[in-house]
Amino acid sequence: MAHVVLKDLVKTYGSFKAVNDVSLTVNDGEFVALVGPSGCGKTTTLNLVAGLISVTSGDIVIGDRVVNDLDPKDRDIAMVFQNYALYPQKSVYMNLAFPLQMRKLPKDEIDRKVREAARVLDMTQLLERKPRELSGGQQQRVALGRALVRDPAVFLMDEPLSNLDAKLRVQMRSEIKRFHQDLKATIIYVTHDQLEAVTMADRMAVMNGGYLQQYDSPAQVFAHPANMFVASFVGSPAMSLIPLEASTANGGAVLTSAEGWSLALSPRNAQKVARATTRKVVLGARHSTIKLHKSAIADAIPAKAYTVEPTGDVTFVQAFLSGAIVNISVSPNVAIAPDEQIWLEFDQERIHLFDSETEVALEAS
Amino acid sequence: MSTVSETISRGRSARRVRIDGWRWGGRAFLVFMLLYTALPMIWMLLTSIKSGFAAMQFPPQWWPDQPTLDSYQKLLDPQNSVGQDFLRFFWNSLIVSTATTILSVIVAVPAAYAFSRFTFPGRNFLFFAVLLRNMFPAVIFLVPLFILMRAIGLVNTHGSLVLTYLTFGLPLAIWLLKGFYDNIPVQLEQAARIDGATRFQAFVLIVMPLSAPGIIATAIYSFIGAWNEYIYAYTFLSKNEQLTLPVGIQRFFSENTTDFPGLMAASFMMSVPVVVLFLLLQRYFVRALTEGAVKH
C-alpha cells in the first residue's frame, strides 16, 4: 500500500479546463471519495492518477515516485470500472489471472492467487463461467477480484456501484467498506452519489467545475460545508438556502426577507454576517435543524406547507421562504396538510451563513 | 359495455386482415426473389451434368436423361489441356484473392483501430477521403491505373491486381471494422493496460479476439471482391498462364462456344470456394452485420 499525492493537477482539453489546480493527499490505507455532479472532473482526475490520460501540468505521486510519465502498467495500481470491463472472451478464472500473467508470474503461483481471491470473494464455483453468464452483482465481484488479486499499491474505483440495482448497491457498499477495512487498502473512489461518499469514505473530496471545493471527513463536510455548492450537494434532502438581507436594528443584527419577515441573529452569527462582502447573505439550514410549529411562537417565521412527503420514518415538508425551497423533517405523527399555515424556527447554533457574492461560508473570527 | 368491446374486436379483426395482406404480399415477393436468384444457379448446375448434345436440345431436358460428371472430370484432369488451363486459372485466382485478403486485413485492422480510438490531425478528412474512391464507378480508374501500372512495370503481374483490389476493398473494410471497434468499450483496453499490458498488448490480447467476427467479415468481403473481379484482370493481364478465373472462363467460352456443360461446370466450381468460405464463416458474418444493433 502507498499514499497518493496530487500537486496542482491541471488537465485541459483545448480551452476547456476539466481539472483545475487540484491538490490533495491520500494517506496510506485511506479511503477517499471523489464526489461531485457529472462533468465536475472527478473521473478525469481518477484517469489522470491511473495514467489513462496525460497530465497537462502538476504532479502525481504514488508511494515515493512521481508517476506523471509512467504507463498505467508501471504505476502499480488496480482499477474497477463502472461497466466492470471484464474481458468477455475469458472465463472468470482467466479474468482474474490476466494481471498476473502480464506480470509473468509462475503458473502455480497464479493458480494459488486466483483461487485465494476467489475464496475471499466467495465465487470459487463461478471460476469456469464467462462474464456474460454472471449476474450484475457477480460481475462486480469479479471486477473487484481482478483488482485485488495483484495486491496493488492503490485501488481506483470509478462509480463501481452505479450499474447495480438499489438493493444490491447497498449490499455491495458494505462489502467494499469491509474489503477496505480488512485489507487496509488505499482506495480512491469516484462517485456522483454523495450518500456513497458519506457512508464509505474516510475523507471526501467534493468537486465542481473542475475545482476541488472541500476535502475533509464526511462529518466535517456535513457539519461545516465550505461553500454553498458543498452545502447543497452533501446531504439529502438538500440544505435549504434562503437569500436574505442583513441590517442592524436595536443594536443587534437582523436578516430581513423581501417578503417582510425578519430573523434576529445571535451575537456569534452577527459576527459572521459582519464579514460578508455585501449586505446580501444566504441563510442555510438542514431539514433536521428547522423546527416546525403549527401555531405562532416568538422568533418563528410564518410559511405555508407546499408539499408533504411521508417516507415512513420521517415526513418531509416543503415550504417556500423568500422564493427558496425549504425542506423540513417532522415526525410522522405530526399531521400537516398541504397549504396549511406553519411557523418555522431556526436553530441559531446550527444555521449556516454564506456570502451571496462569493458563495463562501462566513466564519466568526 | 358491449358496444365498446364490439368496436374493439371489430377494429382488431380489420387490422389483422390488413396485416395479413401485407404478410402474404411480402411472402410472395420473397418467393419471387428466391426463384429469381436460385433458378439460374440450379439451371447452371443441371446443365453442367448434361452431355454436350443434351444441353443443346430444344425443348430443353428439364432433368438430364443421362446425368454425367464428364465435364468435371475434364476440368479437373491435369493431363487434359482444358484441365491444365482451368486448374492454372483457379490457382491464379486463389493466389490473387488470398494475397488481397491477407494484405487488406493487415492494413484495415490497425487503420480502423486508429480511426476508432485516436484523435489526430486530419482524422475526419482522412476518414472521408478513404470513402471518396467509392463514389466513382470502378471503370473510371481503369485507364489511369493501367498507365500507372505500366509506369511502375507491374502490367502482366498478379501484383497489379492485388494493388488495385486493395484500393477498392480497403475503404469499406476500414469502415466496417471501425464500426466494430467503436462498439468495443474502451474500458476493456484501459483495464488491460492497468492490469499490466502495453497499449499494443491490450490491442492484440483483448481487442483483436473480440473483433474476430469483424475481421472475418472483412476478410470474406475482400476475398469475394477479388475472386469475382473481371474488368481489371482482363485489362492488366494478357498472358494466358497468368489469367484469373473470371477472365479464363470468358476465354474458355469464346474458344469452346458449344461446350455449355463444360462452361457451366467451370462456373459452378468457381462459386465453390466463395460458398464454402461463406458457409464455414457465416455465423461470424451474420454476427458482424448485426453487432452494434444492441447496446451490451
Amino acid B132: pLDDT: 79
pLDDT tens digits, one per residue of B196-209: 999 999 999 998 88
Highest mean predicted confidence (pLDDT) among A25-29, A80-84, B249-253: A25-29
Amino acid A234: pLDDT: 93
pLDDT tens digits, one per residue of B91-123: 999 999 999 999 999 999 999 999 999 888 888
Q: State how far Cα A92 lies from the chain centre.
A: 31
* Alpha carbon distance B278, B268 (integer Å): 15
Amino acid B272: pLDDT: 87
DSSP A361: B
* Alpha carbon distance B158, A328 (integer Å): 83
User: Helix B123-132 to helix B158-182 angle, to the nearest 10 degrees?
Assistant: 130
Amino acid B127: pLDDT: 83
More confident position, B60 or A335: A335
Amino acid B19: pLDDT: 67
Looking at chain B, the number of H-run helices and the number of E-run strands are 14, 0
Do residues A95 and A146 lie in contact, with contact meaning Cβ atoms separated by under 8 Å? Answer: yes
Model confidence band, residue A95 (pLDDT cutoffs 50, 70, 90): very high
pLDDT tens digits, one per residue of B221-279: 899 889 999 889 888 988 888 889 899 888 877 776 667 888 888 888 998 888 888 88
Please name the member of A77, A82, A89 whose beta carbon is closest to the beta carbon of B194. Answer: A77
Rg (CA), chain B: 26
Of the candidates A31, A32, A147, the residue with the CA atom closest to the CA atom of residue A85? A147
Rg (CA), chain A: 25
Chain B residues touching residue A160 (CB < 8 angstroms): none
Amino acid B148: pLDDT: 92
Cβ–Cβ below 8 Å for A72 and B210: no
Q: What is the mean pLDDT of chain A?
A: 92
Q: What is the DSSP string of A91-150?
A: -HHHHHHHHHHHTT--HHHHHHHHHHHHHHTT-GGGTTS-GGGS-HHHHHHHHHHHHHTT
Amino acid A109: pLDDT: 94
pLDDT at position B282 over 80: no
- The residue of chain B with its CA nearest to that of A105 is B196
Q: How far is B291 from chain A (nearest CA, A)?
A: 15
DSSP A23: E
Interface test with A, best of B118, B190, B194 (most A CBs within 10 A): B194
Amino acid B294: pLDDT: 40
pLDDT tens digits, one per residue of A320-355: 998 899 999 999 998 899 999 999 999 999 999 999
User: Helix B158-182 to helix B212-228 angle, to the nearest 10 degrees?
Assistant: 150
Continuous segment of H or E residues that includes residue A324: strand A324-330
Per domain, the residue ranges of chain A are: 4-226, 240-355
* Alpha carbon distance A280, A37 (integer Å): 27
pLDDT at position A208 over 80: yes
A 10 A CB-CB count for A362 gives: 19
Of the candidates A255, A234, A247, A241, the residue with the CA atom closest to the CA atom of residue A284? A241
Mean per-residue pLDDT, B79-85: 83
More confident position, A365 or B290: A365
| 3 state SS of A309 | strand
Mean per-residue pLDDT, A147-175: 89
Cβ–Cβ below 8 Å for B192 and A78: no
pLDDT at position A113 over 90: yes
Residue B149, C-beta contacts closer than 8 angstroms, at least 6 positions apart:
B155, B160, B163, B164, B236
DSSP A53: S
Amino acid A32: pLDDT: 96
Long-range contacts of B245-253 (CB under 8 A, 24+ apart): B245/B89, B245/B90, B245/B92, B245/B93, B245/B270, B246/B93, B246/B270, B247/B89, B248/B85, B248/B86, B248/B88, B248/B89, B248/B92, B249/B89, B252/B82, B252/B85, B252/B86
pLDDT at position A90 over 50: yes
CB of B195 less than 8 A from some CB of A: yes
Instruction: Determine which of B41-55, B158-172, B277-291 has the lowest per-residue pLDDT on average.
Output: B277-291
Amino acid B195: pLDDT: 93
Amino acid A156: pLDDT: 95
Chain A residues touching residue B209 (CB < 8 angstroms): 89
Instruction: Determine which of A97-101, A151-155, B4-8, B56-60 has the lowest per-residue pLDDT on average.
Output: B4-8
Mean per-residue pLDDT, B167-181: 87
pLDDT at position B14 over 60: no
More confident position, A217 or A259: A217
Query: Percentage of chain B surpassing pLDDT 70?
Result: 89
Mean per-residue pLDDT, B273-295: 67
The amino acid at B254: S
pLDDT at position B1 over 80: no
Which three three-digit cell numbers place residue B221? 468481403
* Alpha carbon distance A31, A37 (integer Å): 20
**Assigned CATH topology for domain A240-355:** OB fold (Dihydrolipoamide Acetyltransferase, E2P) (2.40.50)
DSSP B203: I
pLDDT tens digits, one per residue of A266-314: 989 998 988 888 889 999 999 999 999 999 988 899 999 999 999 999 9
Query: Percentage of chain A surpassing pLDDT 90?
Result: 69
* Alpha carbon distance A228, B265 (integer Å): 83
CB of B167 less than 8 A from some CB of A: no
* Alpha carbon distance B75, B72 (integer Å): 5
Continuous segment of H or E residues that includes residue A211: strand A211-216
| 3 state SS of A35 | strand
Looking at chain A, the number of H-run helices and the number of E-run strands are 9, 20
pLDDT at position B37 over 50: yes
Model confidence band, residue B2 (pLDDT cutoffs 50, 70, 90): very low
pLDDT at position B79 over 90: no
What phi and psi values does residue B285 have, to the nearest 5 degrees? -60, -45
Model confidence band, residue B293 (pLDDT cutoffs 50, 70, 90): very low
Continuous segment of H or E residues that includes residue A10: strand A4-13
Do residues A244 and A365 lie in contact, with contact meaning Cβ atoms separated by under 8 Å? Answer: no
- The residue of chain B with its CA nearest to that of A157 is B191
A 10 A CB-CB count for A187 gives: 25
Amino acid A93: pLDDT: 95
Which three three-digit cell numbers place residue A45? 482526475
Chain B residues touching residue A85 (CB < 8 angstroms): 185, 187-188, 190-191
Query: Percentage of chain A surpassing pLDDT 70?
Result: 99
* Alpha carbon distance B225, B206 (integer Å): 29
Chain B residues touching residue A83 (CB < 8 angstroms): 185, 187
What phi and psi values does residue A157 have, to the nearest 5 degrees? -130, 125
Amino acid A142: pLDDT: 92
A 10 A CB-CB count for B147 gives: 10
Q: What is the pTM of this model?
A: 0.80
A 10 A CB-CB count for A247 gives: 12
Query: Percentage of chain B surpassing pLDDT 90?
Result: 27
Q: State how far Cα A153 lies from the chain centre.
A: 23
Amino acid B257: pLDDT: 67
Residue A206, C-beta contacts closer than 8 angstroms, at least 6 positions apart:
A35, A36, A212, A213, A214, A215, A221, A229, A230, A233, A234
CB of B190 less than 8 A from some CB of A: yes
CA atoms within 13 A on the CB side of B270: 28
pLDDT at position A96 over 60: yes
Please name the member of B190, B206, B209 whose beta carbon is closest to the beta carbon of A52. Answer: B190
pLDDT at position B296 over 60: no
Do residues B63 and B122 lie in contact, with contact meaning Cβ atoms separated by under 8 Å? Answer: no
CB of B194 less than 8 A from some CB of A: yes
- The residue of chain B with its CA nearest to that of A80 is B191
Amino acid A50: pLDDT: 95
Amino acid A80: pLDDT: 93
Q: Is A264 exposed, middle or buried (0-12, 13-18, 19+ CB in 10 A)?
A: middle
DSSP B205: I
Do residues A330 and A338 lie in contact, with contact meaning Cβ atoms separated by under 8 Å? Answer: no
Amino acid A183: pLDDT: 86
**For domain A4-226, which CATH number applies: 3.40.50.300, 3.30.360.10, 3.40.50.800, 3.40.50.1970?**
3.40.50.300
pLDDT tens digits, one per residue of A31-71: 999 999 998 999 999 999 999 999 999 999 999 899 999 99
pLDDT at position A206 over 90: yes
* Alpha carbon distance A222, A113 (integer Å): 41
Q: How far is A82 from chain B (nearest CA, A)?
A: 9
Mean per-residue pLDDT, B153-157: 89
pLDDT at position A218 over 90: yes
